[in-house]
Copies of this chain bind each other. A is one copy, B any other.
Amino acid sequence: MTAATQNTIKTPSPTMIPTLQKYLPVLDWGRSYTRKTFSNDLIAALIVTIMLIPQSLAYALLAGLPPEGGLYASIAPIILYAIFGTSRALAVGPVAVVSLMTAATLGNIADQGTMGYAVAALSLAFLSGMILLLMGVFRLGFLANFLSHPVIAGFITASGVIIAASQLKHIFGIDASGHNLYELLISLWQHLGEFNGFTFAIGAVATAFLFWVRKGMKPMLRSWGLSAPVADIATKAGPVAAVVLSTVVVWLFSLADSGVKIVAEVPQSLPPLTTPSLSYDLVSALFVPALLISIIGFVESISVAQTLAAKKRQRITPDQELIALGSANLGAAFTGGFPVTGGFSRSVVNYDAGAETPAAGAFTAIGLAIAALALTPLIYFLPKATLAATIIVAVLGLVDFSILKRSWGYSKADFSAVLATILFTLGMGVEVGVSTGVVLSILLHLYKTSKPHIAEIGLIKGSHHFRNIHRHTVETLPHVLQLRIDESLYFANTRFLEDYIYNRVAGDTPLKHVVLMCSAVNDIDLSALESLEAINERLQVMGVTLHLSEVKGPVMDRLKREHFLSELSGQVYLSHYEAHQSLRLPN
């Protein structure tokens, strides 16, 4: 990127953006579109198109849909995202985890290959689109926050394992099904008698080749003296080579007659106009899965978008991203697709290939449309085992159990959430897995904040600082209990505070004052206020005065709305040092 382009595509500050332009980012970057941007975008589109053809076919297979569905799901969504999206490099389409979730959801509704299955895929994309759109319009993007990073990491790792296992049937040339690892392995075992040697040979070689392309090819090409960009493009064309070679082999040796399953007839057509079904039964069966798919897709997409935007100091607007992804999914629903989102690998490729605006996406869509219209006869003999190999190699890159070790070292609460997410996803499927992770991380958070850290503090001699009496040598006053509460006070921890104070005060006869230092108390809800009232009243009955110190502005504003401050037996001190000084002498 040169300094010139950086200036051309300057991001305006949000207050400056007029309403229409806010909802149609295309109006912003479209105005400053130059010939140079155009050629950059075109080259990026070409590279991404070559990469996306096998990937789209493979993800359709993963979702349980006919291969052309993967192409259709990439065309309209990419164009819609180009109009509404705020990321300049994000590439939208079918991605592994969302395709797996689609398959898991639709498997409960209809049998693969039936009309009902394809219609349910459209409905799922429609619902997902509506949910994203509404979340964007009503600014509900914060709902995605409840998916914690460790839960996402655990979920993606476990999903990767399930996806890889689900593709083994194509490698072995057998039938198998199941929505969790246990079911899949049992089913694979039961069908092992159908094993097809030719299929396995193709699948195993393709897998090995694609792994080598990923790890060993680029260094080899470089050692042969090829430049980095050329080696890079050659690496990206690896899956295409696998597709071409295996198709030719199957065709040459008529392996389809020997039981190798092939893609066969794919209609030569632009994306068809389709209508999702919105029957009550279907919508109620699909709603929760659609919500999970939307949120997981959004989280995956926005983190890719933000990573890429940061590199050019560009701005991503999460609410507008929801609208863009929602539109993309609605587009998929009406053009024979299935749920889509911004994908990591395709976006990185797009960015690295020099895409500067969403127009690159539009050019990619044109490329894929040409493929759908003209190239499908060429993949008649493409073996499904090759597509499965593409998927396996792609998703094993997602599998990363190191999050277990990392979270174990950092916090046992995070570790529990990851472990539960992984185990439940592997053992009970994607929906149960991710829901368990979300609920558990909320409960663990509440548990942690329900037992806040309370430090008994004293004055560090010769300073105005107060520190934990158990960690530092400090001056304390026998008739004053000084406590620093390291948490906002709310319903889940007020009883803990009450118990703590009563227990501390009950046995300590010389005590005359309790001072609560509130510098880390960011909120006091009504439960906590009533607890403070109860503490104040009960301490008064015990002959002990309650004081507060260093109460924050917004908290003080709220306390002033109630009678508490006038009922408080002691005072509110601006600084804790002031409290310490004024209570120093017993009276």
Contacts and interface: CB of A to CB of B under 8 A. Distances in A.
Interface of A: 11-14, 141-142, 144-151, 302-303, 306-307, 309-311, 313-316, 318, 406-407, 409-411, 413-414, 441-442, 445-453, 468, 471, 486-488, 490-496, 498-499, 502-503, 505-507, 519-520, 522-523, 525-527, 529-531, 534, 537-539, 541-542, 552-554, 558, 561-562
Contacts of A494: 145, 149
Contact of A148 (B150, B491, B499, B553): B491
A506 B88 CA distance: 14
Given A407-B526, A520-B519, A315 B558 contact: no
Contact of A486 (B145, B503, B552): B552
Contacts of A506: 11, 309, 313-315
B453 A522 contact: yes
Nearest to A564: B410
Contacts of A145: 450, 491-496
B538 A318 contact: no
Contact of A507 (B315, B449, B519): B315
Given A145-B493, A526-B410, A11 B507 contact: yes
B144 A495 contact: yes
Contact of A538 (B141, B310, B442): B310
16 contacts: A13-B507, A14-B507, A142-B451, A142-B496, A147-B491, A306-B534, A310-B502, A311-B538, A313-B541, A409-B561, A441-B491, A445-B490, A452-B522, A486-B554, A519-B519, A520-B552
Contacts of A492: 142, 145-146, 148, 445
B149 A491 contact: yes
Q: Secondary structure of the A side of the interface?
A: helix
Contacts of A507: 11-14, 315
B522 A486 contact: yes
A11 B506 CA distance: 8
Given A148-B526, A309-B502, 9 more contacts: A148-B492, A149-B491, A149-B530, A151-B491, A306-B502, A310-B541, A410-B561, A410-B562, A411-B525
A571 to B, nearest CB: 21
Closest 10 CB pairs of A and B: A148-B491, A310-B538, A149-B527, A414-B526, A13-B507, A315-B506, A148-B527, A486-B522, A145-B492, A313-B542
A529 B542 CA distance: 44
Nearest to A543: B313
Given A12-B507, A498-B306, A442 B445 contact: no
B525 A413 contact: yes
- Copy count, this protein chain: 2
A318 to B, nearest CB: 6
A520 B13 CA distance: 29
A311 B499 CA distance: 15
A486 B518 CA distance: 12
A411 B151 CA distance: 32
A527 B150 contact: yes
B318 A526 contact: no
| Of A491, A525, A526, most B-chain CB atoms within 10 Å | A526
| Of A11, A14, A302, A491, most B-chain CB atoms within 10 Å | A491
A411 B526 contact: yes
B149 A526 contact: yes
Contacts of A411: 525-526, 558
B471 A503 contact: no
Contact of A491 (B406, B409, B445, B493): B445
A142 B450 contact: yes
B146 A491 contact: yes
A411 B468 CA distance: 33
A216 B49 CA distance: 88
B316 A502 contact: yes
Contacts of A488: 449, 487-488
B410 A558 contact: yes
Contacts of A450: 142, 145
Contacts of A451: 142
Contacts of A495: 141-142, 144-145, 302, 318
B526 A406 contact: yes
A530 B519 CA distance: 26
Nearest to A319: B499
A310 B503 contact: no
